[in-house]
Structure 1
Amino acid sequence: MTERAEIQAGGRFGTQVDRGVARAACPAVFIAAPASGQGKTTVTAALARMLRNQGKVVRVFKTGPDYLDPLVLAQASGQPVDQLDLWMAGEAYCRQRLFDAALEADLILVEGAMGLFDGEPSSADLAALFDLPMVIVMDVKGMAQTAAALVAGLAGFRDDIRIAGLIANACGSPRHRELIEAALPPDIPLLAAVERNANLALPERHLGLVQAEEIREDLETRFETGAKALLAEGLAEALLQLPPVTFAAVQAGATEALPSLHGQTIAVARDAAFSFIYQANLDLLERMGARLRFFSPLTDECLPPCDALWLPGGYPELHAAQLAANASMRDDIHRLFAADKPILAECGGMLYCLETLTDYDDQIHTMLGLLPGHGAMRGRRGCQGMQTADLPEGPIRGHAHHRSVSEGTPEPIAHGRRQRHPAPGEAIYRLRRLTASYLHLFFPDNPAAVASLFGQGTGHTIDTEESNGCN
């Protein structure tokens, strides 16, 4: 093979090998904003649906550790949505995911987090690293020319980013649009002005957006309304005509071989109470050979036959009465615990493992009681941040975001290590093979530790359905 050889297979915009590194090209846009609450997710979802309606393949990514926005964006785009986070996932992981997406997509959309320059690393850091042109979404209610000044300031704050244009959200009138457009710098066009419309905005709840599964039909209406508004602005043509961005694959040998979970069956709770699941975690477990069996602690009577159990985060406080009433499920999980099978309980999953949970109405509900202690919800104040869980199996990076407290819990085996602050992070508990914490772990950060965490040794599957007479 020559030093640079062209390849015809794969990639809508062509792939190539350059000095042994595979590369793929695809138009890509980074959706950013000066602050949270500007409408990034609303606009990104509308863009994805607009292009999907035209028969285009749109791959969407979400910056940071968010687990709710990706569910909404996946419904809008009809494609899986992954998180891209330089600290939690690493550059190599982000690079490979973008390369893989470029092989199949007509357009890649990356939605930022918070304000453009907030956090370490920030949205701007991610966009600059992969040379992604940025579209600024700004809520322009209550200002006109000042919106243009803010965009100009964002564009000039760093010399390693490039602004492709502005989408003015919540625009009040055609005159309002004219004032903003006339004041923008010549090299930053007004790509679209989205009118103020309550039927466009996505509904929210504490910790973020309402889960997609809860309001699927309502979201469909909002997606289509947003798609029509953006289509009328000519945005589809503008985005698809952007010069393709070239993404490089991670070189062979740059990543270690994955450890094996072959033959292991992991039961994964997934329903309205437990849904804070990184798609990347599921993908990794399957790539390591694990069989995943999804079940609902809310409605199923028993666990599926399994070697291990994963109770992810979610909103157990909204469904605490139903969880408490499912005594057969509680008994089944107790049997798995008594058999010393691995159980990972994250945030909402940890609350489920405690003795009781007090909801926002001060009602106390009986939970599993695997872990001594009591959980309670608290107002609007919350705790969040990036942390590393220093487990006996090895360190795994992750994220905490909760509005509850736990009391009367046992002595933790460790605390999360914060990204930049020396104070101890979230407590990590270990009781038999149960590992519980407020932290949501990002499995691809340390596959070997994950394999040890869920590994069995004997490989004997606990047939909970048969033992408890479940069908």
Structure 2
Amino acid sequence: MLVAAPASGQGKTTVAAALARLHARAGRRVRAFKCGPDFLDPHWLALATGHPVHNLDLWMTGEHDARARLHEAATQADLIVVEGVMGLFDGEPSAADLAQRFGLPVLAVIDASAMAGTFGALAFGLRHFRPGLPWAGVLANRVGSGRHAQMLREALADDEAQFLGAVMRDAAFSLPERHLGLTVAAELPDALARLDAAADALARTPLGQMDGAALVRWSVSFDAPAAAPAQAALLAGKTMAVARDAAFCFIYPANLDVLRALGAELVFFSPLADEPLPACDAVWLPGGYPELHAGALAAATRTREGLRAHAHAGRPVWAECGGMMPLFDHIVSSDGEAAALWGLLPGQVLMQKRLAALGLQQLALPAGTLRGHTFHYSRCETALAPAQRTEAARGGAGEAVYRVGAVQASYFHAWFPSSPAAAASLFIEGGVA
């Protein structure tokens, strides 16, 4: 089932995670995916299922990769939940494109808190806007009362049977947000309790009362994909140090899988805890929230000196988005407060009150082209000239890629499975021209 909505903010993540949690609690094997590029919603879906959550996007991850992951999940699971992105038809490609390509029945989640009859118009439009869209039904979210729920059901004059229930408005299972999206589940001590409360609410709906046998009517068959070509172990014998903590938490599990498949041994360290850089051949600084932890990162002298020594020795560093930001001399908050950071790149990063960039991108390297995306609320001021730029998916210049010695940094978030050879080249001395 693909959980979609008419727009962002309707409660897709809550419903998708609640559905997954409800069936996982019942002992069923559940796998979840996230449509489009996203680091935050998968944390909640992983908590609900107990399994890593991968992304599906017909452009960034590609149809072959998506088909292979769906097929593998189908061999292991009783239920697959795919959370959509933005509105059902938003983006190129959209969640609707994914649903049609793989025959995923769409569950439309609509925030009905300020409507009655219009609920029926929205549901009708979502269902019929594109001919041939696989359809499961519609779920009303943030409903005020039993009478309100009845009015919403009656609004589906064309087919009340598609009404899969109403989830009442309740702060007990709201998922808190901040400027890049939902708060990471691991940062909330009551995260699982919130999911259980949402699952309990969903259990009171017709959708939530369906068991495995009832869900069979929406079953989908995923053909086995063609075998992928064997990947050379380009990082065999290499030790990769990966920053991972609350400041560096934007990590696609698939990226870690690729590095291991390339032969790398992964070791993790926490700059927030000022852990020394482990002995390694290369470093990956993934994205995250360094701006929320600028003071702690400024005081992380052991981490800073280890990175400096590593870079001065000519060993590779790949830093993306939030991983790049602390490499500059300063981070300046949106209120104008500056924190001195690690100084591996000249210049400063300035936080913005509004989104600075968003979109699918690709980075062409001699070994291949990496696909990915950009999404950030800051901008760089630096005397460095970009060594190259990414390209936007729809054409045109994208993000700058900076290179100082063996350090390479960009706002670009790479999806390593799109070109394992290109990903490997980021972490090999002299691997990128």
What TM-score does the superposition give when structure 2 sets the normalisation length?
0.95
Distance in 1, Cα, partners of 2:401 & 2:284? 15
Native 8 Å contact 2:406 2:429 kept in 1: no
Asked whether 1:119 is paired with 2:94, we answer no
Q: What is the match of residue 43 of structure 1?
A: 15
**Residue 441 of structure 1: which of 414, 423, 426 is its match?**
414
Alignment of 1:197-212 (within 5 A): 197-212=170-185
Out of 19, 35, 53, the residue aligned to residue 81 of structure 1 is 53
**In 2, distance between residues paired with 1:320 and 1:56?**
42
Deviations along 1:397-456, one digit per CA (max 9) or x if unpaired, are 11100000110240001111011142x211111111111000100101111111122124
Which whole-Å CA distance do the structure 2 matches of 1:180 and 1:246 have between them? 33
Structure 1 residue aligned with 2:402: 429
Aligned counterpart for 1:133 among listed residues 105, 109, 113: 105
- 1:142-153 map, 5 Å: 142-153=114-125
Distance 1:280 1:206 in 2: 25
Query: Which of residues 276, 279, 286 is equivalent to 1:305?
Result: 279
1:249 corresponds to which of 224, 227, 238: 224
CA deviations 1:133-176 (Å, max 9, x no partner) are 11000000111121111111111111121221111001111111
Q: Is the 8 A contact 2:37 2:373 kept in 1?
A: yes
Is the contact made by 1:268 and 1:293 (CA closer than 8 Å) also made in structure 2?
Answer: yes
Is the alpha carbon distance of 1:260 and 1:416 closer, same or farther for their aligned partners in structure 2, counting shifts above 3 Å? same
1:221-370 equivalent positions in 2, closer than 5 A = 221-238=193-210, 240=212, 241-242=214-215, 243=217, 244-252=219-227, 254-370=228-344
Q: Distance in 1 between matches of 2:375 and 2:30?
A: 29
1:191 aligns with 2:191: no
Q: Give the Å deviation of 1:218.
A: 2.1
Contact 1:137 1:167 in 2 (8 A): yes
Q: Once the two structures are superposed, what CA deviation does each residue of 1:212-254 show, in whole Å capped at 9, x if it has no partner?
A: 2211x221121111111111224244363233210112112x5
> 1:256, CA displacement in angstroms?
5.0
The whole-number CA distance in structure 1 between the counterparts of 2:287 and 2:373 is: 11
Whole-angstrom distance in 2 between the partners of 1:339 and 1:263 = 19
Distance in 1 (CA, whole Å) between partners of 2:110 and 2:169 is 12
Partner of 1:463: none
Are 1:172 and 2:172 matched, yes or no? no
Name the CA distance, whole Å, in 2 between partners of 1:123 and 1:73: 17
Q: Contact conserved, 1:375 with 1:404, CA < 8 A, in 2?
A: yes
Cα separation, 2, equivalents of 1:187 and 1:282:
45
The answer to whether 1:372 aligns with 2:364 is no
- The C-alpha deviation readout for 1:112-146, integer Å capped at 9, x for no partner, is 00000011110000000000111000000111121
- Give the whole-Å Cα distance in 1 for the aligned partners of 2:211 and 2:359: 34
2:351 touches 2:377 (CA, 8 Å); kept in 1?
yes
Counterpart CA distance in 2 for 1:65 and 1:197 is 29
Q: Which runs of 5+ in 2 are unaligned?
A: none
Tell me the equivalent position of 1:468: none
Preserved CA contact (<8 Å) 1:346 1:437: yes
More displaced 10-residue stretch of structure 1: 368-377 or 126-135:
368-377
Where 2:283 maps in the other structure, the secondary structure is strand
Structure 1 contact 267–295 (Cα < 8 Å) conserved: yes
Cα distance in 1, alignment partners of residues 299 and 418 from structure 2: 37
Provide the C-alpha distance between the structure 2 equivalents of 1:225 and 1:355, rounded to a whole number of angstroms: 45
Conserved? CA contact 1:318–1:359, under 8 Å: no
Letter aligned with residue 86 of structure 1: L
Any conservation in 2 of the 1:181–1:189 contact (CA below 8 Å)? no
Superposition RMSD in Å: 1.6
Bigger mean CA offset, 142-151 vs 229-238 = 229-238
By how many angstroms is 1:92 displaced? 0.3
* Alignment TM-score, normalising by the size of structure 1: 0.88
SS of structure 2 residue aligned to 1:281: helix
